Chain A
Amino acid sequence: MIGFSLRSLWNRRFVAGLTVFAIALSAALIVGVEKLRDGARDSFVNSASGIDLVVAPRGNPVQILMAAVFGIGGTGTAMSWESFEWLENMPGVAWAVPIQMGDNHRGYPVIGTDVTYFEHVRHSGGQPLQLASGTLFIEGQADGAVLGAEVAARFGHAPGTVIVNAHGSGDVSFHMHDDAPFTVTGVLAPSGTAIDRMVIVSLAGFDAIHAPHGTPDADPLDAAGLAVPPRNTRADHETHEEHREHTGHDHDEGSRAAAGTGEHAHPRGRDPDGHAHAPERLNAVYVGLADRTGVLGLQRAVNDRAAEPLSAVLPAVALTELWGITGTAERALQIMAWTVALASIIGMVVMLSATLESRRREFAILRSVGASPAHVVRLILTEAAVLTGAGLFLGIGIFILAARVAGPVLASRFGVQLDTRGFDARELAVLASLFGAGLAAALVPAIKVYRATLADGLSVRI
């Protein structure tokens, strides 16, 4: 039967080919939309791996997550170093990584942090960040920068390259910091996450590039109110007192700088003690807990902090909220893809139905040699199955080809990786339902054929 169907389709190969192609395109579209959605979600989920809580100045959780973890957009105000220290010393907190944002390198987000970032930030289900080449910048080295794989690849940067960043977080830069260049010390191995698109510099370096302008993103009131003790990391506990004195002084100056004196507290690369640089402002803090069951308690404590309005964001919860927002767009895309699929399936039904008239003789002949009407119906359904099945396979091929071609652009521009290695249960279900829809639609011509063969018998009546 299948051989017979294939021969019959081959006899109409031009129209059959067009039909298969139409189905293939819609299958590719549907698979593409699914893969894009999965890729986008994976990119987000993988980027946020290992972070239990993101603390930032009070704001919308989704916005905070987008800005602090994915480098998209920004958080409104800045938070104080004091709050960072408070957080770091909260019971149950295993680690806290300070994050500064708001600059870009040719459109790629620049974040300021310290070396503990590389120690604690994980991706894709707990994998640590790996250097592909070079080294990390050393603590306090103000002009060192570590690049995400994508940034390095895009511009051909390698350890030793001197790069210049710009203020602002988009392609449109307000001001080039060409007076404060960075030297690339290392390039990270690809992680398939937002980190690939980031330029990571030290807190000292991040502050330094703002030195001549003295206008941080921070709320001026907050900045003025900073009487910041130094960063109290476990490592530099012993030198705590000396450090406090020194940086406390710096920060008074820093506040004046913000008010327009033109001076800055942290001449780059000259952090006197070689200790962690305590910046006047932070945009976010990544927090890891020793015991994750305490996460809700800590979240409440942060949200209730009287000294400064802060938000503590659970990445998983914010992501769920984000899916709620993007869900509408996803659904719109899905609906579009399925509409195209519907059109192509209708095209197949039209093709099968249109040929029925001219094939009535063929069916009468088959009946005369012993075919039952059920045989003839099966013939039509087999043809539909062959057309839809071939369409699906060709569609997957088209998708894989398109993903190969467009994949690098998608990865570099949007950080979205299209997975072409296999299909998850959901995607298989989508493909299966497309196949089912094709077969179900073919019932229309099949029933027509059934009626016609019964009525025609052995002689075709016109």
Chain B
Amino acid sequence: MPMLRIEGLDHRWTGARQDTIRVGALALGAGENLFLHGPSGCGKSTLISAIAGVIDVAEGAVCVAGRDIGSLGSGARDRFRADHIGLVFQMFNLVPWLTGIENVILPCTFSRRRRRRAGNPEAVARRLLGDLGLDPDELGRKTAGDLSVGQQQRVAVARALIGTPDLILADEPTSALDADAKTAFLDVLMRDCKAANTALLFVSHDRGLEGHFDRSVDFRDLDRGGTR
């Protein structure tokens, strides 16, 4: 069963004169990763929002872990997102006044499934942070606002990974990092996704990252044509 399957996904932001995205077909299996690239403004973040269930999509357009996102009500989508999807953004991933560890276990407060799968969220958070090369004690003390950007991004990854979601959506999480940090960051992300058998959709306009991934797709190739 593919963890992510898209078939004919259109979205038009309110006020826009034409559809922002018109995605034909895309599939991602468990444990697979995919690098999706495209120029700025082509609709990558919009696609992420659609998969995450934050914007309304048509029935049958998006399936995550076998579930048709479009058929769910907005509340059910929020719960589904908490249960099955981990998200990492370019910046501002963390609640600044919570500690690093508290940020990591945040999904477990919204999702019983993630909490159950994590077992002991605090311990798992510490292990994940350690794996990502961070000092768990320091992150138990410092609030997220006091962390460096690189540290913040790794905390965000730990948060996406906790409770082993089915799919991780990463929206340009490396653009604030220097080249070495980028490589280290990607290695850990890939390794942990593979270890947890989690599917990873990574979008970026930085084609230099392409080599780390199993598969790479140009966003414009997904376009199913029609009125654009």
Contact = CB atoms under 8 A, between A and B. Distances in A.
B94 interface: yes
A11 B145 CA distance: 11
Contact of B89 (A8, A375, A459): A459
Contacts of B89: 368, 458-459
Interface in B28-74: 45, 48-49, 52, 54-55, 74
Interface in A3-45: 4, 7-8, 10-11
A369 B92 contact: no
Nearest to A365: B95
Given A371-B110, A458-B49, A459-B49, A366 B95 contact: yes
Contacts, number: 64
A272 to B, nearest CB: 90
B97 A8 contact: yes
Contacts of B83: 370
Interface residues of B, number: 29
B107 interface: yes
B87 interface: yes
Nearest to B79: A370
B106 interface: yes
B58 to A, nearest CB: 17
A375 B92 CA distance: 20
A457 B110 contact: no
Interface residues of A, number: 23
Contact of B45 (A362, A370, A373, A459): A459
A365 B79 contact: no
Interface string A451-462: 000000111100
A135 interface: no
A370 B92 contact: no
B92 A372 contact: no
B25 interface: no
Contact of B78 (A10, A11, A364, A370): A370
The listed residue with most B CB atoms (<10 A of its CB), out of A10, A361, A369, A371, is A369
B75 A372 contact: yes
A367 interface: yes
A374 B45 contact: no
B164 interface: no
Nearest to A459: B45
B97 to A, nearest CB: 4
A369 B158 CA distance: 12
Contacts of B196: none
A462 to B, nearest CB: 12
Interface in A61-98: none
Contacts of A374: 75
Interface of B: 45, 48-49, 52, 54-55, 74-75, 78-79, 81-83, 87, 89, 92-98, 106-107, 109-111, 159, 171
16 contacts: A11-B96, A364-B92, A365-B92, A368-B89, A369-B87, A369-B110, A370-B79, A370-B110, A372-B74, A372-B79, A373-B74, A458-B48, A458-B52, A458-B171, A459-B49, A459-B89
Interface of A: 4, 7-8, 10-11, 361-362, 364-375, 457-460
Given A365-B95, A366-B95, 16 more contacts: A4-B109, A361-B92, A365-B106, A366-B106, A369-B87, A370-B79, A370-B107, A372-B74, A372-B78, A457-B55, A458-B48, A458-B52, A459-B45, A459-B49, A459-B89, A460-B92
The 4 closest A-B pairs by CB, nearest first: A370-B82, A370-B110, A11-B97, A372-B78
